[in-house]
Structure 1
Amino acid sequence: MRLVKLLANLGYGSRKEMQQAIRHGWVTDRQGNRLKADAKTPHEEILFDDEPLDPAQGVVILMNKPLGYTCSTKDQGRLVYDLLPDRFRMRKPVLSTIGRLDKETSGALLFTDDGTFLHKVIAPKSNVPKVYDITLDRPLKGDEAALFASGEMMLESEDKHLKPAELEVLGETQARLTLHEGRYHQVRRMFAATGNHVTVLSRSRIGALGLDGIEEGSWQELSEDGKALIFG
């Protein structure tokens, strides 16, 4: 891919703007040599304004999403994309979230511009478990784990049973729930069906991938080993 197109696809600016940036010498290799528009320098060797380029196409990002942010590019208020560099919104292919967390849910959120990878994560046959840490308004009654694991639970206004889910009781009003599917507001609706209310909800793991070392509001690019943990 020509350097001008590469930079434009990464969201640094239009092709015209990138042509100007190259002419002005803002694009160099790691030795400080100015690059030309038709340069075929490896991605990892290119600097833009003395900084390494953003991740190449096919990137997968893990964010520790804070409360109060919406998984959208167009909604009003604070958006998860506000926590990424502005140019990430201009990437081609587009950088999309893999699934969603609602505004009042925090924790592990994935992004990618790789459509094949996105569909692999969300495909039912991949059976990627997602783990949620929960605080409830009222004490657990004691029968929730058996109900959630039964495979017989059905949510209001739906006609298909939920897949069995594993509930780990952590305290009188604290629990950890592992789901193997992702229906609309599923965790909240499951507890609502038992007469309880979720007051705090955070996704702590996707597959075997956790948030170790990622502070709230921060993100990191996943290595190949990190990507593998999603399915491990």
Structure 2
Amino acid sequence: MKLVKLIANLGYGSRKQVTQLFRSGAITDANGEVLYADDQVAHADIRIDGEPLDPPPGLTLMLHKPVGVTCSTRDPGRIVNDLLPPRFRLRSPLLSSVGRLDRETSGLLLLTDDGALLHRIVAPKSRLAKVYDATLAQDLRGDEAALFASGTLLLESDTTPLAPAVLEVIDPRHARLTLTEGRYHQVRRMFAAVGNHVTALHRSRVGGLELGDLAAGQWRVLDEEELRRLFVG
């Protein structure tokens, strides 16, 4: 792929704008030598204004989504894309969230431009474990763990029972729930089904990946080892 098209596809501007970057000398190699549009250079050796080029297609990010931010690109409020470099919105292929966390849920969110990977993660047969920490309005009554693990709980408006889920009681009003499916507002609806209300919800793990100490609003690129680990946990 020609350098102009490569750099334009990464969101740095239109092909015309990228051509202007070449003409201005803003695009160099790792040693600071000015590059030209027809040069053959490894992706890792390209610099724009002295900064390394963004990762090529196949990019997957882990982001700590804060409360108050939505995964929709059309929401009038604050959206996930606002937490990323503006040029990421212009990448081709597009960077998309892998599933969603609602506005009032924080925690681990994956984004990728790899359609095959996205499908593999969200496909029902993948059964990737997702771990949520829930703060509740009322004390747990004591039978929730058995009910959630039974595989018989039918949520309102659903036609099939939920797959078994694991509930760990942290204290009377805090619980950790591990799911292997991802129905609409599932955690909140599960607790509503037993007469409780979730006041705060945080996703800490997806598959074998944990959010760790990544601060709210921060993100980082996942490497190949981390992507392999995603399907191990």
| TM-score when normalising by structure 1 | 0.99
Query: Structure 2: which 5+ residue stretches go unaligned?
Result: none
What amino acid is aligned across from residue 108 of structure 2 in structure 1? A
Name the structure 2 match of 1:113: 113
Per-residue deviation, 1:39: 2.1
Q: State how far apart, in whole Å, the 1-side matches of 2:161 and 2:38 are.
A: 56
Q: State how far apart, in whole Å, the 1-side matches of 2:224 and 2:150 are.
A: 35
Per-residue deviation, 1:212: 1.6
Name the structure 1 match of 2:83: 83
1:173 maps to 2:173? yes
What amino acid is aligned across from residue 169 of structure 1 in structure 2? V
Q: Secondary structure at the match of 2:81?
A: helix
1:204 maps to 2:195? no
Name the structure 2 match of 1:55: 55
Q: State how far apart, in whole Å, the 1-side matches of 2:28 and 2:196 are.
A: 59
Q: Secondary structure at the match of 1:184?
A: coil
What amino acid is aligned across from residue 152 of structure 1 in structure 2? T
What amino acid is aligned across from residue 55 of structure 1 in structure 2? P
What amino acid is aligned across from residue 14 of structure 1 in structure 2? S
Percentage of pairs with the same residue: 58
Q: State how far apart, in whole Å, the 1-side matches of 2:74 and 2:27 are.
A: 32
Q: State how far apart, in whole Å, the 1-side matches of 2:213 and 2:190 are.
A: 30
| TM-score when normalising by structure 2 | 0.98
Name the structure 2 match of 1:44: 44
Name the structure 1 match of 2:219: 219
1:54-73 matches, within 5 Å, as 54-73=54-73
Q: State how far apart, in whole Å, the 2-side matches of 1:220 and 1:213 are.
A: 12
Query: Structure 1: which 5+ residue stretches go unaligned?
Result: none
Q: Secondary structure at the match of 1:205?
A: strand
What amino acid is aligned across from residue 84 of structure 1 in structure 2? L
Q: Secondary structure at the match of 1:131?
A: strand
Per-residue deviation, 1:40: 2.3
Q: State how far apart, in whole Å, the 1-side matches of 2:44 and 2:72 are.
A: 30
Name the structure 1 match of 2:19: 19
Name the structure 1 match of 2:155: 155
1:113-152 matches, within 5 Å, as 113-152=113-152
What amino acid is aligned across from residue 130 of structure 2 in structure 1? K
RMSD: 0.7
More deviation, 40-49/92-101: 40-49
Q: State how far apart, in whole Å, the 2-side matches of 1:226 and 1:187 are.
A: 26
Name the structure 2 match of 1:10: 10
Q: Secondary structure at the match of 2:75?
A: coil
Q: Secondary structure at the match of 1:215?
A: coil
Q: Secondary structure at the match of 1:153?
A: coil
The one-character-per-residue Cα deviations of 1:106-148 (angstroms, maximum 9, x if unpaired) are 0000000000010011112221110000100000000000000
Q: State how far apart, in whole Å, the 2-side matches of 1:40 and 1:191 are.
A: 57
Name the structure 1 match of 2:190: 190
Q: State how far apart, in whole Å, the 2-side matches of 1:154 and 1:193 are.
A: 9
Q: Secondary structure at the match of 1:170?
A: strand
The one-character-per-residue Cα deviations of 1:167-204 (angstroms, maximum 9, x if unpaired) are 00000100000000000000000000000000010000
